[in-house]
Structure 1
Amino acid sequence: MAKDYRVLAGQATQEQLVAYLSKIQGLPNIQPNTSLEKLRAKVKELGIEDDDYINMPDDGEADREEARLSRQETVIDVSGDNVTVTVMGYEAARDRAKELGGVLVGTDGKPLRYVDFNNWPKGKILIPKTNDFDGKHDVPVAPNGRQMFIPRGQDCEVAEPFIMALMEARGTDYTQEENGGAMIPTEVQRHSLIVKRLPEYTILVPREKVAQAA
């Protein structure tokens, strides 16, 4: 399954906004020659500000963006009993912990709990309201059987497994061929999701591995 990558709405190109509005949001009448001004206005109508991130369909950029984030968001603090490494995003943090021989810890200072996600750090997301039949209802999401309902139209802080479940949820849209032909199914992202901030994870590394961490 293709992954998504993110760009700041205010920095997105015309081509990126066309892809976002047509493929991710599923808006009709979005053409490759639609002006950048009109595209930005459409984005604003969705409640998305210039400093908000938007998800883009993957064109191979996802892996490059993930690598960039893991490089730029890693900070090392050598105060305390252990070396503390903070990394943005779970996959980058998990890989870094394995590389350093450290342990991912939660907000309570204990190892991350994969059963209930209660001690996972939180990220910030926004699910815009839409004109779909359920476009104003809370959105249910249940990674690992742990269900929560996320309200639309407001910033919410949730653990990353819930964010990833929303990003990976897929639905089907149907478009009819010309002259009343067959209905053609197309897989689309189920929810319009704006990830405003990924969670920041803490890795504790034993003192003897300080040199590796640095």
Structure 2
Amino acid sequence: MTQKTKAELEAEAKEPKAEKMHKIIIPSSAEFDGKEDVFLNCNGRRFQIQRDVEVEVPKIVINVLNDAVKTEQITDESGRITGTRDVRRYPFQTL
């Protein structure tokens, strides 16, 4: 068994490792920008995701989508606000 030289180890460390990709779909919605592409920025990496199209993304994109929430008001039958709830800003489906 041969040992790797210091230069070989440094070269391996610099090579980007292949990320595991995950298939998702972000559906269109009735919101004002619900038909537009979704733009994300994750640790300096930019992503533009088309809606209603199956795409492959790294795990970090799924984490950002899970963290992107908005607060909606809960109302009763008479229209009074009874509380709030957090929902995903960009609902998506993993395949």
TM-score calculated relative to the size of structure 1:
0.34
Question: What is the CA-CA distance between 1:181 and the residue it aligns to?
Answer: 2.2
Q: Deviations for 1:11-54, whole angstroms, at most 9, x for unmatched residues?
A: xxxxxxxxxxxxxxxxxxxxxxxxxxxxxxxxxxxxxxxxxxxx
Bigger fraction of residues in strand: 2
8 A contact 2:27–2:92 mirrored in 1: yes
Contact 1:177–1:184 (CA under 8 A) maintained in structure 2: no
Unaligned stretches of 5+ residues in structure 2: 1-14
State the match for 2:94 in structure 1. Answer: 195
Distance across 2 between alignment mates of 1:150 and 1:126 = 9
- Tell me how large the CA RMSD over aligned residues is: 1.9
Structure 1 residue runs of 4 or more that deviate by more than 6 Å after TM superposition: none
Question: Aligned to 1:142, what secondary structure does the other structure show?
Answer: strand
- How far apart in 2 are the matches of 1:156 and 1:180? 39
Structure with higher RCO (Cα < 8 A, 6+ apart): 2
Q: TM-score by structure 2 length?
A: 0.70
Change (3 A) 1:130 1:123: same
| C-alpha distance in 1 between matches for 2:69 and 2:79 | 26
SS in 1 for 2:43: helix
- Which structure dedicates a bigger proportion of its chain to helix? 1
The one-letter code sitting in structure 1 at the alignment partner of 2:67 is E
Q: Percent identity?
A: 32
Uncovered stretches (5+) of structure 1, i.e. residues with no partner:
1-109, 113-118, 197-214
The 2-side partners of 1:166 and 1:193 are apart by 8
Counting matched residue pairs gives 81
Which of 128, 132, 142 in structure 1 is aligned with 2:27? 128
